[in-house]
Structure 1
Amino acid sequence: MRQQLQRAFFGAIALVTACSLSGCGGDEGAGGSGGTTSSGPVELTLSTFGEFGYEDLIKEYMAQHSNITIKHDKVGQGGPYHEALLTKLAGGSGAADVSALEEGHLSDVLSKPQLFNNLEQIGPKDVNKERWLDWKYDAAKAKDGTLIGYGTDIGPLAMCYRKDLLQAAGMPFEPEAVKPLFATWDSYFAAGDQYVAKTGKAWFDSDSQIFNAMQNQLKVGYIDKEDKLVIESNPDIKKNFDKVTAAGGRGQTAKLAAFSNEWNSGFKTGAFATKTCPGWMLGVIKEQSGPELSGKWAVTDAFPDGGGNWGGSYLTVPKQSKHPKEAAELAAWLTAPEQQIKAFKAKGTFPSQVKALEAGELLSATNPYFGGVKDGELFAKMARKVGPAQYKGPGDGQIQENAMSPALQAVEQGKSAAEGWQQAVDAAKRIAK
């Protein structure tokens, strides 16, 4: 379904681009930088998915702006939401004035900046790059310099693990003591060999989950900045593939597809001892593990080879907006540090703004389920360990989802690593055509 949607999306781009250049009969104020701020009544549409924590903020904004009415369209699941958004962008109508975009879908649109207003041009002049962590801001910049979105939340990675399982295996288990185990990917896999030898059980949930984290740490991913497929010419990709599949072959993987029913129950049953862990994963672990495992799960401010990010979104202003400047002002306000702290307190969305990461409300937050750890302070520290933004070219997300992950699962189910690698390469070539 996603491949069919994206083929339709990119197939319709030529028409949308032509319309943006020639006008196609529309007036200049209907979209783009031609719009001006209005003092009269303005209705803005805002579309989001999941939990952004904006319900009370929307009321607050309208109370401060008597001429603004905001209609909030909130969808529960990100998948259907993004399918609908890409369809609207491709069709040239229907997108909200302010449309949220998950970071995993950036690669679907970064090569088509003509569909979005450049927020550096139409946004409030006092909103600049310094508001955000560098890597968060840079990830939403197209090659032509267009800033397509203001950053909302992020998912900086730490490592979560079962203290009781490591202790039973005779391994270090306190948050400070385990850091050497998680210092590098080599030390992580070495610790996994030790755990498997002592217990006969899996160290991590799946090859795919580990590989994804390693892949996103690379300077160059599947697609380079010239939009060329480099899965075969970038040796680091094959090196990571070999490391992960070798560790899985030694018994370290539980072979559980992320977010499947078996994966969900695996948290409670001890199917794996460690988990790559963005801030939002703590809520998943608590929900799936249940109250009986409170205090047995822990999180430490260490992650192999530095840091990484999994998750987070942006607020964009599509060219379709009839009120682009007002939309940009709303997006800027919602992503200001003060509002992001309120959203964090409401729904736990971890902020990407520098001042928000220094706020006392964030740094003092604790998580009783994980032994009272100051999780706000911990993930603020991990957010600053994330490296420069990796360029996400056209098809990057599809390759991750529809080429590499199935290949890694095939290896877990019995294919040789060489066969799995060739499967991934062949699928990536089909996607990148």
Structure 2
Amino acid sequence: MRRQQTRVLAGAFALVAVAGLSACGDEGSSGGSSGDGGQVELTIGTFTEFGYEDLLTEYERLNPNVKITHHKTGEGGPYHEQLLTKLAANSGLEDVVAIEEGHFPDIADKPQLFNDLADIGPKDAKPDRWLDWKYKAGTAKDGTWIGYGTDIGPLAMCYRKDLFEAAGLPSDPEAVKPLFESWDSYFAAGDKYVKATKKAWFDSNSQIFNAMQNQLDEGYLNEDDELAIESNQDIRENWDQVTAAGKRGQTAGLVAFSPEWNTGFKQGAFATKTCPSWMLGVVKEQAGPANAGKWAVTDAFPGGGGNWGGSFLAVPKQSQHPKEAAELAAWLTAPEQQIKAFQKTGNFPSQVEALSSPELLESTNDYFGDVKTGELFAAMAEKVGEPQYKGAGDGQIQENATSPALQAVEQGKSADEGWQQAVDAAKKIVG
């Protein structure tokens, strides 16, 4: 799960008060209407932190005929396992369900089980509310609009200024941009860093490889849902480039979100980190007060940009109140509410209007030197290209095939042996 372990920490990213935006429908809302004026009871299922508690109370105030029950699960993994089980049983699902982007391919493979939001949603909830790539990422291959986009995780690069300086590398956020212009320049800088310090440049092979993989036009599966890990030469080239850099000493070999990885932030075990917007909260939490001001973030990323994280709100066919459920989902993902969720948890907005709001653009982060993080990540969100097609099993390949194989290479396997391990595991998943 690309983000399930990190939402709890994301709140540290929202460091300014976001004030004054009026809620959608403050002058009265058509949301939640039952058609006969009676009470409507809706349920919504989410995991970790979406920042919806206060918003759901506000929605009930704006719509007195609506009563909402919120089912919140602590971890994304168990939540999505239960979601798939309930879909298969055609029973027990909430009226509105959250779906994390890493699990979305397994959901999008079953569009017949969801309402098409283009048909049941409010007329003002049009696709152009969202960044184009976020809207497209919430649709199934047959065109069904399954999910309204919630947050996103546009990628930038975080780095340790003091470690760069010790290695003779530039440390100013503008001066380091050429180092992060491409993957070639990134790994070349890594070689200089390792030579000067004898320390690792990045945290793990898999964290870098996953970012490179998500930038490709075609991923692990093609649009015919055929396994493409062997036929797509770009995947193998990325594999070779990452594992070669790791063999030259650039990887710290730390599994993301493990205790050792957490400690690595405090100990300066690596000098750079692929940083979606929510990662700033993770860095601050794990690196701690002693490293305040040592970490920096710049609006540059090898290959141009990318996204890691974010979710969608969908309305299953099981819902007894699909129209009212869609109205609630549309309201929760409207610009005003996305800004409020950002204020509460740091979840970065995906709505175009929210991304241009002064409240977001003027937000700063003192841990990273008072950089305007809202403005920075809004700019990086615009750099994300067309969403890569991800067929059912894509996330499982990343978690259970390529990532373990890359770790095996860090532990001594050759790049070729690791590649074969990844291919064999991917075939079992898809087969």
TM-score where L is the length of structure 2: 0.92
The 5 Å alignment of 1:331-346 reads 331-346=329-344
Correspondence for 1:261: 259
1:37 touches 1:326 (CA, 8 Å); kept in 2? no
1:268 touches 1:290 (CA, 8 Å); kept in 2? yes
Correspondence for 1:74: 72
The code of the aligned residue for 2:91 comes to S
Matches of 1:307 and 1:160, distance apart in 2:
13
Q: Which of 134, 137, 149 is matched with 2:135 structurally? A: 137
Matches of 2:360 and 2:388, distance apart in 1:
27
Q: Which runs of 5+ in 1 are unaligned?
A: 1-34
Correspondence for 2:354: 356
Q: Which of 268, 292, 296 is matched with 1:298 structurally? A: 296
Correspondence for 1:370: 368
The code of the aligned residue for 1:323 comes to H
Q: Which runs of 5+ in 2 are unaligned?
A: 1-32
Report the alpha carbon displacement of residue 62 of structure 1 after superposing the two structures with TM: 0.5
Q: Which of 125, 128, 134 is matched with 1:127 structurally? A: 125
1:158 touches 1:301 (CA, 8 Å); kept in 2? yes
The 5 Å alignment of 1:282-431 reads 282-431=280-429
Q: Identity, % of aligned pairs?
A: 73
Matched residues, number? 400
Correspondence for 1:249: 247
Q: Which of 186, 200, 203 is matched with 1:202 structurally? A: 200
Matches of 2:420 and 2:409, distance apart in 1:
11
The code of the aligned residue for 1:188 comes to Y
Matches of 2:45 and 2:225, distance apart in 1:
30
Report the alpha carbon displacement of residue 38 of structure 1 after superposing the two structures with TM: 4.9
Query: What is the alpha-carbon root mean square deviation over aligned residues?
Result: 1.2
Matches of 1:242 and 1:38, distance apart in 2:
63
The 5 Å alignment of 1:51-66 reads 51-66=49-64
Look up the SS of the partner of 1:355 in the other structure.
helix
2:43 touches 2:95 (CA, 8 Å); kept in 1? yes
Could you give the per-residue CA deviations for residues 208-240 of structure 1, whole angstroms, max 9, x where no partner exists? 000000000001100111111111110100000
Matches of 2:231 and 2:282, distance apart in 1:
37
Matches of 1:216 and 1:349, distance apart in 2:
21
Report the alpha carbon displacement of residue 362 of structure 1 after superposing the two structures with TM: 0.2
1:107 touches 1:397 (CA, 8 Å); kept in 2? yes
Report the alpha carbon displacement of residue 37 of structure 1 after superposing the two structures with TM: 4.4
Instruction: Classify 1:152/1:38 alpha carbon distance in 2 versus 1 (closer, same or farther; 3 Å).
Output: farther
Correspondence for 1:183: 181
Q: Which has the higher helix share?
A: 1
Correspondence for 1:23: none
Correspondence for 1:235: 233
Look up the SS of the partner of 2:352 in the other structure.
coil
Report the alpha carbon displacement of residue 394 of structure 1 after superposing the two structures with TM: 1.3
Report the alpha carbon displacement of residue 126 of structure 1 after superposing the two structures with TM: 1.4
Look up the SS of the partner of 1:104 in the other structure.
coil
Matches of 1:106 and 1:225, distance apart in 2:
15
Look up the SS of the partner of 2:154 in the other structure.
strand
Could you give the per-residue CA deviations for residues 155-180 of structure 1, whole angstroms, max 9, x where no partner exists? 00000000000011110011001000
Correspondence for 2:4: none
| Deviating 4+ runs (over 3 angstroms) | 35-38
Correspondence for 1:94: 92
